[in-house]
Amino acid sequence: MRGARDILGGEASVIHAQITRVQGSSPREAGAEMFITATGCAGTVGGGQVEFRVVERARELLVAGMMRDTLDLSLGPSIGQCCGGQIRVALTRLSAAQRAAHLARVGSAVRAHVLILGAGHVGRALAEVMAPLPFRVLLVDPRAGELAKSIAPVETRLTPLPEAEIAAAPPQSAYIVTTHDHGLDFLLTLAALRRGDAAYVGLIGSKTKRTRFERFVRETDPSAELRRLTCPIGAAGLGDKHPGVIALMTAREVLGALDAACTNPTSCTNLTSRLPAGF
């Protein structure tokens, strides 16, 4: 996760908080973790009052100069929780060597890749929706001005050859094609389909656009697997063309496709089941 990498690679002192024991029901499992500084944090141990208390105690350790502590929390009405279980959280101030080890682990975690091809209104909305998810998200466009409008904390790529990013992506990636040009849309979508190993290939548009694309594929490369194509993407079934709605619905489609790809263990080397706990 980008936030964890930023924290671990920064200058501020860091507390590592990790659930080490769970009894009964809890919002997160043993192993869920956070990295906490005086002003920021990454990861989650369950949100709500649980997380508030963990972050609060971690920052008390930072102020006091303490190296470690253990926090036992009962998840009941006394802290506004209804889970009813109990958790134990280990809090550790990280040394330079420990920070480096965590940074290497987080940085090397292989995640699902999501390529958003086109940084227009829908592409930028998709980047915002996808940014908090445990994927490597890449927003690609040949137009510097459109990329500059994106406020999402994702990687961006200014390139006149977006098809090269498709060729360089790892297996079981997701490709969402939403450029400013129908011809470019068709070329990029076909490039993604030709790979034969995409977890998801989505094309913005309409049923009419899909029909035209299918005709283009039959004339250009009949071997391309059209059954892998999702078009229209997102909110087509709702009839809502608002970029934010399309982005939310498309993100749901992508998550479903990536989860389905993980039903085959040999296809999951870059999917969420291989992420460190808490990410």
pLDDT tens for 108-130 read: 654 689 999 999 999 999 999 99
Residues 128 and 266 in one domain: yes
Residues 165 and 229 in one domain: yes
Q: Which domain holds residue 88?
A: 2-107
Residues 148 and 236 in one domain: yes
- Looking at 65, 86, 107, the residue that finishes a domain is 107
Mean pLDDT of the region 164-187: 94
Neighbours of 60 (CB within 10 A): 13
Residues 166 and 230 in one domain: yes
User: Is this structure's pTM higher than 0.85?
Assistant: no
Residues 85 and 119 in one domain: no
Would you state the pLDDT for residue 235?
A: 65
> How much of the chain, in percent, has pLDDT values that exceed 90?
62
pLDDT band at 168 (very low <50, low <70, confident <90, very high): very high
Of 13-17, 94-98, 237-241, the poorest mean pLDDT is in 237-241
pLDDT higher than threshold 60 for residue 228 = yes
Residues 235 and 179 in one domain: yes
CA dist., res. 258 & res. 245, Å (int): 20
Residues 80 and 143 in one domain: no
Residues 166 and 71 in one domain: no
Mean pLDDT of the region 226-240: 80
Residues 265 and 163 in one domain: yes
DSSP codes, 60-120: HHHHHT--EEEEEEE-SGGGT--S--EEEEEEEEPPHHHHHHHHHHHHH---EEEEEE--S
CA dist., res. 279 & res. 262, Å (int): 17
Is 279 within a domain? Answer: no
CA dist., res. 58 & res. 36, Å (int): 7
Residues 47 and 168 in one domain: no
pLDDT tens for 19-69 read: 999 988 888 889 999 999 999 998 888 888 889 999 999 999 999 999 999
- Looking at 107, 127, 153, the residue that finishes a domain is 107
Would you state the pLDDT for residue 106?
A: 77
Residue 222 has, within 13 A of its CA and on its CB side, a CA count of 2
Q: Torsions phi, psi of 106, nearest 5?
A: -65, -40
CATH of the domain at 144: 3.40.50.720
Residues 52 and 128 in one domain: no
Number of domain units in the chain: 2
Q: Dihedral sign, CA of 144, 147, 151, 156?
A: negative
